[in-house]
């Protein structure tokens, strides 16, 4: 067990999959807890996050950005609509598509919600220097293939 490939799986604390799984669980649970303090949850986070970046997306576009199924997007938007945070508007050129917009209340949550996420990230990265943190994010970005 000495090749490059095997080095990436054993022992446990060297295993990429294990480290990512542990990190994901930790970050998601932490963010969920923090979001609950402001009336949100991890379930609605990806959708709101996408809308804070760009409003007026159709549900299909939202589903792509959140990487969730279209029926999940439908239900998440039902929830967010009931909470008064988003609205479905008729699409200007297609009568079957809908454009999703934030309400004023949804816009108001942006800052405090992003603060919660920043706090999660900072806690997770507490053991790294700023330079190391930037390197980590850059490498994840490169691996995932979303870099520009």
Partner DNA sequence: TATTGTTATACTCTATAACTATA
Partner DNA sequence: TATAGTTATAGAGTATAACAATA
Contact residues for a copy of itself (CB under 8 A)? Answer: 4-28, 31, 49-50, 53, 65, 67, 114, 117-118, 120-122, 124-125, 127-128, 130, 132-137, 139-148
Closer CB to a copy of itself, 19 or 97, in the complex: 19
36, interface contact from a copy of itself, DNA, none, CB < 5-8 Å by kind: none
Kindly state the smallest distance separating residue 108's Cβ from a copy of itself, in Å. Answer: 17
Quote the tokens at residue 34.
């923090």
Quote the tokens at residue 96.
């079957």
Kindly state the smallest distance separating residue 43's Cβ from a copy of itself, in Å. Answer: 13
Question: What 8-state DSSP symbol labels residue 88?
Answer: E
Q: What gap in Å lies between CA 79 and CA 77, rounded to an integer?
A: 5
> Hey, which residues does 98 pair with through a beta bridge?
90
Closer CB to DNA, 42 or 133, in the complex: 42
Kindly state the smallest distance separating residue 92's Cβ from a copy of itself, in Å. Answer: 25
DSSP string, 39-76: T--TTTHHHHHHHHH-SSEEHHHHHHHHT--HHHHHHH
Q: Where are the beta strands (DSSP E) in the chain?
A: 57-58, 86-90, 98-102
Residues at the contact surface with DNA, assessed by CB under 7 A: 41-43, 58-60, 68-75, 77-78, 88, 91, 94-98
Closer CB to a copy of itself, 33 or 94, in the complex: 33
């Amino acid at each position: 067990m000495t090749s490059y490939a095997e080095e990436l799986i054993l022992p446990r604390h060297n295993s990429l999959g294990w480290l990512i799984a542990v990190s994901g669980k930790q970050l998601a649970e932490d963010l969920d807890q923090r979001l609950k303090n402001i009336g949100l949850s991890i379930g609605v986070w990806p959708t709101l996050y996408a809308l804070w970046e760009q409003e007026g997306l159709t549900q299909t576009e939202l589903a792509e950005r959140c990487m969730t199924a279209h029926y999940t997007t439908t239900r998440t938007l039902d929830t967010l609509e009931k909470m008064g945070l988003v609205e479905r508007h008729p699409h200007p050129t297609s009568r079957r598509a809908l454009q999703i917009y934030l309400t004023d209340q949804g816009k108001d949550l942006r800052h405090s919600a992003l603060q919660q996420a920043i706090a999660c990230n900072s806690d997770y990265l507490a053991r790294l220097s700023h330079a190391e943190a930037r390197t980590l994010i850059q490498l994840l970005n490169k691996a995932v293939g979303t870099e520009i």
